[in-house]
Structure 1
Amino acid sequence: MEKNVMKYDCAIVGGGPAGLNAALVLGRAKRTVALLDSGKPRNRIAHESHGYLTRDRIKPGEFRKIAYEEVLYYPSVQHWQDEVVDIARTEDGFSIQLASGESVQARKLLLATGLREELPEIEGLEKFYGKTVFNCPFCDGWENRDRPLAVISSSPHIFHTVKLLYNWSKELYVCTNGKQSLDSEQIEEFKARGIQVFEAAVTKLTGQDGQLEQVHFADGTQISCRGGLIGPELINNSSSFAQSLGLETTEAGGIETSPFGKTTVEGVFAAGDSAYFMPAQLIHAASSGSKAAASILADLVEEEWEAAARN
């Protein structure tokens, strides 16, 4: 006997600030929402979150706890803690397959899965990442202000990153980790401001109790510091879904959207870090989730308005 599958107005893939805020807006609009979240947020290693008015310095776990309590107050929102393994277009919406074997049907789809990080293979990095080694100046620059900091990145954007971090600390050590990511003019600009550049590969980070103290290089050089910024490779968790659904993406790897989260495929929306990579902050993600939800609701209302006239 075929299982009776509930069809939701919207399925939201991802339970970070973008997905949660979208669920909140849609729940308050009396819409049925399947909030699909694997429970593995990118910021789970961070000790605090910053830059969100009324929630500055909040622990990521506490933020999620409060957010879920607020969202699930609305009875039309249902939380599924499960991993989405496949999404397919159907005649009247979308079918979402979960790792548990369950299936969710929805008229509209919001991708808010965020990003995952691939860190460079440096011995000891995991001891300091999320404590005194960070990746966002806006998120952790204040806590590391006026300290000697090592910037470890082989990204072509390292020059801009260092200029930005210079706002918080003037004592910076630029480590390109074995890559020639800077041209001679950029290196001279750094030298003019007392910023040292190290192009040898970084082999090891050392320190105690989560406090970064030394950066070691393959050529035997070592520098002392009191924190660092790392440039991980950022990978869109929605990339496989974007490809299977035929969504257009940006040069940076985000999903192409309108200002209100509409993708290039009818019925599919994207918000948060799935749609853009920077700045990766709670307040930006939550805002984009709210706007996407408003756009989803507008589409649902328009469809139902037209259907009412036909009936």
Structure 2
Amino acid sequence: MIYDCAIIGGGPAGLNAALVLGRARRSVALLDSNRPRNAVTHASHGFITRDGVTPAEFRRIATEEVQRYPSVDYRQTEIVAVNRSEAGFELLDSDNLRIQARRLILATGVKEIFPEIEGFHSFYGKSLFNCPYCDGWELRDQPLVVISETPAVYHMIKALYNWSKDLVICTNGKQTLSEEQKTHLKSKGITVEERPIAALVGQNGQLEYVRLADGTEIPRTGGFATPTLVQSVAFSDELGCERLEIGGIKTDEWGRTSVPGLYSAGDASYVMPSQLIYAAADGSRAAVGVNMDLTEEQFA
């Protein structure tokens, strides 16, 4: 069998793409390794009718919905290779099964790389997060730390200032802010701490303080960190996709990449806030692009 479209990735982008294509009566192979990036998150916010849903519950509901459409074939498997073929694309999974599809959507997401700080992962997803729009409300008016080794911290802190005025920036020994930026932040009562971080300390996922390398302790009850984002799989590079300067896959308004027949949706393009609602909408956009292109091909 040759599917109309294969989708690699069963997060919100891939699931919504499968839903739209299933409703368009397209045959779809939805292929998911079941290793979601947001598995550590206690709740997801900002998605109307699903505010506060756990990632596991969101995936359960969405998976049930897409499987109502008989043309959607949902498989929990890991894709290990992708190649161009006469039909379009050939995918190989970890069980050596080959899957053929005319079109392919990469909804593979990204991996987050955080600074190597003792205790960091004990708090990430519980009292330490990466998106103020997702978790700022829960940490409103608390004494917060923002951990970042990149210049992006300046934009992060300006956004976060809406949720809390009690902020400390820790650059972990890096000189990422200009003197002008530091002066401006100081005028807002925001402390910039450039000494290295030794550890994050607390209990049961609740941050209590940041310990610097010289022993200084900064009491904080939560915070945010800015990760470096990288593609979770190498398929886009192997297929020759053009990339954005920030590293995401470059697409047009319908999710088309620079490779004919190949589309990208969700965090893999990372030109948007990392939220369920953005990723799901992007999956819908790419699915409409696939359906339009298949329709034009059939009519031609």
Normalised to the residue count of structure 2, the TM-score between the two structures is 0.98
Q: Who is 2:2 aligned against? A: 7
CA deviation after TM superposition for structure 1 residue 210, in Å: 1.1
**For 1:120-159, what aligned pairs fall within 5 Å after superposition?**
120-159=115-154
The aligned amino acid for 2:101 is A
Contact kept in structure 1, 2:2 and 2:87, CA below 8 Å: no
**For 1:94-105, what aligned pairs fall within 5 Å after superposition?**
94-105=89-100
CA deviation after TM superposition for structure 1 residue 237, in Å: 1.7
Counterpart among 292, 295, 300 of residue 298 in structure 1: 292
Q: Who is 2:106 aligned against? A: 111
Alignment partners' CA distance in 2, 1:139 and 1:133: 12
CA deviation after TM superposition for structure 1 residue 190, in Å: 1.1
Q: C-alpha root-mean-square deviation of aligned residues, in Å? A: 0.9
CA deviation after TM superposition for structure 1 residue 92, in Å: 2.2
The aligned amino acid for 2:280 is A
CA deviation after TM superposition for structure 1 residue 83, in Å: 1.1
Could you list the structure 1 runs, at least 4 aligned residues long, displaced by more than 4 angstroms after superposition.
none
Alignment partners' CA distance in 2, 1:302 and 1:196: 57
Alignment partners' CA distance in 1, 2:57 and 2:231: 25
CA deviations over 1:165-200 (Å, ceiling 9, x no partner): 111000000100110001111111111111111101
Counterpart among 239, 249, 253 of residue 255 in structure 1: 249
Alignment partners' CA distance in 1, 2:68 and 2:18: 11
**For 1:167-182, what aligned pairs fall within 5 Å after superposition?**
167-182=162-177
Contact kept in structure 1, 2:146 and 2:157, CA below 8 Å: yes
CA deviation after TM superposition for structure 1 residue 219, in Å: 2.0
**For 1:155-234, what aligned pairs fall within 5 Å after superposition?**
155-234=150-229
CA deviation after TM superposition for structure 1 residue 234, in Å: 1.3
Moved more, 106-115 or 75-84: 75-84
The aligned amino acid for 1:163 is K
Alignment partners' CA distance in 2, 1:161 and 1:280: 13
CA deviation after TM superposition for structure 1 residue 277, in Å: 4.2
CA deviation after TM superposition for structure 1 residue 222, in Å: 1.3
Alignment partners' CA distance in 1, 2:249 and 2:121: 30
Aligned length, in residue pairs: 300
Secondary structure at 1:180 match in 2:
coil
Alignment partners' CA distance in 1, 2:145 and 2:137: 15
Give aligned-pair identity as a percent. 55
* Aligned: 1:45 with 2:40: yes
Consecutive unaligned residues of structure 1, counting only runs of 5 or more, are 1-5, 307-311
Alignment partners' CA distance in 2, 1:10 and 1:22: 10
